[in-house]
């Protein structure tokens, strides 16, 4: 899952050091030796403005073209508030007019052989001229460099993801496989990216996908449209039916729980899961596919359709309705900031959330709790707490609610 993107009002010296260190790590991956990112003399490859600055890097904006720089900022992310939108527009205006030299003082100049850079690799792989804008994400186990690919005219035509370690490489491969499979599955209720390029480069897993037009005006999203899209995904690989206790899903989840059973939170989680299946294991459920991280920030509703991206957690054979529960939980966390209360409210609403998916009445709360077990297992497997993710410590929000609810079931 993608943690809610919030930032402290002020950075401590330690925070700034960690962010700067990660920025340097990303630059070292994108521009390995003999490329240089310290401003050394040599053949120029790229020059970046650091937004908002080098102590709080969120975006590297190519500065060689005002049109390209404006596109990089405008299409970086959808602002979640009026003030955030005003700040973004101020930066766009600055790069368009040339005032960025005052507003954005921190610069990174890259020199060296073009063929050794990510710019050179992607330009050759895609057969076109491009500029790269680099997104620097918050601390989490699945953090990876995300590249916005922009043509000379300022058109954002693609986004690239780079898998840098075992977890992120597996996720990039999984998203490549998911998008390739879903391209031929006959989806009609949502729009997904196309794979433009996939492969390896200098030990990194690379996926380039087409850019969905998220910058188009948004349309109100009805509950009916959202559910229809989730059902479209649920049935794209077919359905199976059976009691939870004997299902392939429970067999797989149990194996995943065993892999994290050596940790204190894993012990409590496994015990809650076993008790849940003891009490609800005979309920007959339907199993299908799910997006795996269907959150408000991974979709956009426009007049022509519902756009959905970030398919690295896609899986089949899960209880129907998982996407609906996940979306509700993430929506509540995003709007309130109180993750524990969001879990409580989501479980309380399980009957309403799962009714459109044909989940039997006596299995709806159990399905929501099973989703929480699945999500918690993912967090432990990915070691989100060790990576510093904001919601990485499950004992502070998810586990207490899950354990109590299972005991009351």
Which domains does the chain carry? 9-210 (3.30.200.20), 223-408 (3.90.1200.10)
In this predicted model, what pLDDT tens digit does every residue of 193-247 receive, in sequence order?
A: 999 999 999 999 999 999 999 888 899 999 999 999 999 999 999 999 999 999 9
Above 70 in pLDDT, residue 80?
no
Q: Are 298 and 290 in contact (CB under 8 A)?
A: no
Least confident of 2-6, 8-12, 76-80: 2-6
Q: What pLDDT score was predicted for residue 7? A: 36
Please list, in sequence order, all residues whose beta carbon lies within 8 angstroms of the beta carbon of residue 355, skipping any fewer than 6 positions away.
364
CB 147 within 8 A of CB 159: yes
Predicted confidence at residue 76, as pLDDT, reads: 72
Q: Give the range among 95-99, 259-263, 280-284, 396-400 with minimum mean pLDDT.
A: 95-99
Q: Quick check: 177 pLDDT over 80?
A: yes
- Residues 6+ positions from 220 with CB-CB distance below 8 Å: 301
Angle at 156 (CA atoms; ends 155, 161), nearest 5 degrees: 155
- 164 vs 178: CA distance, rounded Å: 19
Mean pLDDT taken over the chain = 91
- Percentage of the chain modeled with pLDDT above 70: 90
User: What's the rounded Cα separation, in Å, for the pair 206 and 216?
Assistant: 27
Task: Give the per-residue pLDDT at 13.
Answer: 53
Confidence of residue 100 (pLDDT cuts 50, 70, 90): low
| pLDDT at residue 74 in the model | 80
Nearest C-alpha neighbor of 290 from the set 332, 231, 248, 346: 231
Which structure tokens are listed for 122? 């992607």
Rounded CA separation 318/321 (Å): 9
11-57 per-position pLDDT tens digit: 455 566 777 888 999 999 999 999 999 888 999 999 999 988 888 88
**For the chain, what percent of residues have pLDDT higher than 90?**
75
pLDDT computed for residue 44 by the predictor: 94
Is the pLDDT at 372 greater than 90? The verdict is yes
Q: Kindly give, in sequence order, each residue whose CB lies less than 8 Å from that of residue 348, ignoring residues fewer than 6 positions away.
A: none
State the average pLDDT over residues 279-287: 98
Q: What is the arithmetic mean of pLDDT over 259-277?
A: 96
Q: Is the pLDDT score of 273 beyond 90?
A: yes
- Structure-block tokens of residue 248: 């392939």
């Amino acid at each position: 899952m993608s943690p809610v993107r919030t930032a402290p009002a002020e950075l401590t010296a330690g925070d700034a050091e960690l962010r700067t260190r990660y920025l340097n790590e990303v630059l070292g991956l994108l521009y390995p030796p003999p490329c240089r990112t310290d401003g050394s003399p040599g053949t120029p490859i790229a020059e970046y403005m650091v937004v908002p600055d080098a102590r709080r890097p969120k975006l590297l904006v190519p500065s060689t073209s005002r049109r390209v720089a404006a596109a990089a900022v405008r299409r970086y992310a959808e602002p979640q508030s009026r003030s955030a939108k005003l700040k973004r527009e101020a930066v766009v205006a600055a790069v368009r007019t040339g005032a960025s030299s005052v507003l954005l003082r921190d610069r990174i100049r890259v020199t060296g052989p073009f063929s050794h850079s990510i710019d050179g690799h992607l330009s050759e792989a895609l057969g076109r001229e491009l500029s790269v804008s680099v997104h620097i994400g918050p601390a989490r186990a699945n953090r990876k460099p995300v590249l916005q690919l922009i043509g000379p005219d300022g058109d954002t035509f693609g986004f690239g993801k780079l898998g840098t370690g075992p977890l992120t490489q597996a996720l990039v491969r999984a998203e490549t496989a998911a998008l390739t499979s879903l391209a031929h599955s006959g989806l009609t209720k949502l729009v997904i990216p196309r794979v433009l390029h996939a492969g390896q480069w200098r030990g990194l897993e690379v996926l380039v996908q087409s850019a969905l037009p998220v910058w188009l005006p948004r349309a109100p999203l009805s509950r009916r449209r959202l559910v229809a899209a989730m059902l479209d995904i649920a049935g794209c690989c077919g359905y199976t039916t059976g009691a939870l206790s004997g299902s392939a899903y429970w067999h797989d989840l149990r194996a995943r729980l065993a892999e994290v059973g050596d940790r204190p939170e894993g012990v409590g989680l496994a015990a809650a899961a076993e008790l849940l299946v003891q009490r609800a294991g005979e309920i007959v459920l339907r199993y299908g596919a799910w997006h795996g991280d269907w959150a408000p920030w991974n979709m956009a509703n426009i007049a022509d359709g519902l756009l959905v991206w970030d398919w690295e957690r896609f899986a089949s054979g899960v209880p129907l309705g998982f996407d609906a529960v996940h979306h509700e939980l993430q929506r509540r966390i995003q709007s309130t900031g109180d993750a524990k209360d969001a879990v409580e409210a989501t479980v309380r609403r399980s009957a309403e959330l799962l009714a459109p998916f044909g989940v039997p009445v006596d299995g709806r709360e159990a399905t929501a709790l099973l989703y929480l077990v699945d999500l918690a297992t993912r967090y432990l497997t990915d070691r989100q707490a060790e990576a510093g993710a904001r919601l990485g410590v499950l004992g502070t929000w998810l586990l207490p609610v899950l354990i109590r609810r299972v005991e009351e079931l």
